[in-house]
Amino acid sequence: MAAISPSRLWIPIAVWRQICVQAVREWPNECLGMLVGTSSGHVRAAYELVNALAHPHRFLSEPASLFAAERRRRQEGWDLLGFYHSHPGGRPVPSHVDTDPEVNYWLDGSVVSVIVAIRSHACDSAASIREPVSELSVTATEQTPTSSGITATLGHYSLQARAFRLFPHRWEELPLALED
């Protein structure tokens, strides 16, 4: 399951919306998934993966969901571009766990990680979790010169995503932008 290594990523607004909805649905735990598309770095789909740990600060791909995603990628003929995961209540940069070679033994910069910081602005976050996601709307903003990555608001939540190559104990950022 070798990934190709684009120098930047573009995410369609519809795919970004899907990732935001997933991050809200799985709040306060980390969500994760696979990003597939063209070798030039244009994401064409996000395949949701199951976080076997169901944990707010850690994730582990549940193997059956990973195999299903890889099978779907091959059937649909896309390149593997990378993976995304959320940081509930956290920042859109790699955590110490993300760049820990004891946890992520494959770290060599070959796989792109999109990290989605999600914050709740509700006074009662439990109430916002019960709110039906289908009634919320995403506002995906254009990338601005003063911020890196892409952003959205979804109900009581604000989200920001940035893309990285991960190495042991360090990371490099890639440009990440929205497209129609």
Q: Which is nearer to Zn ion, 38 or 104 (CB)?
A: 104
User: For Zn ion, which stretch binds (CB under 5 A), given 62-70, 73-81, 93-101, 141-149?
Assistant: 93-101
Burial class (CB in 10 A: 0-12, 13-18, 19+), 110: middle
Q: Which of 26, 48, 79, 98 binds Zn ion (CB under 5 A)?
A: 98
Q: Which is nearer to Zn ion, 95 or 125 (CB)?
A: 95
Mask of contacts with Zn ion, 36-75, x by CB under 5 A? Answer: ----------------------------------------
Q: Which is nearer to Zn ion, 41 or 88 (CB)?
A: 88
Cβ partners under 8 Å of residue 46, min gap 6: 15, 18, 19, 22, 33, 34, 35, 36, 84
User: For Zn ion, which stretch binds (CB under 5 A), given 15-23, 95-103, 126-134, 149-157?
Assistant: 95-103
Give me the least distance between CB of 29 and Zn ion, in Å please. Answer: 12
Q: Which of 18, 38, 95, 125 binds Zn ion (CB under 5 A)?
A: 95
Place of tokens 């289908």: 134
Q: Which is nearer to Zn ion, 16 or 171 (CB)?
A: 171
Q: Which residue is nearest to Zn ion (CB)?
A: 98
Q: Which is nearer to Zn ion, 14 or 54 (CB)?
A: 54
Which residue pairs, CB below 8 angstroms and at least 24 apart, start in 89-97? 89/28, 89/56, 89/118, 89/119, 89/120, 90/57, 90/117, 91/117, 92/116, 92/117, 92/149, 92/160, 92/161, 92/162, 93/162, 93/164, 93/171, 94/164, 94/166, 94/171, 95/57, 97/57, 97/58
User: For Zn ion, which stretch binds (CB under 5 A), given 6-14, 94-102, 133-141, 161-169?
Assistant: 94-102
Interface size with Zn ion, residues (CB under 5 A): 2
Q: How many CB atoms lie within 10 A of CB 62?
A: 16
What is the contact surface with Zn ion in residues (CB under 5 A)? 95, 98
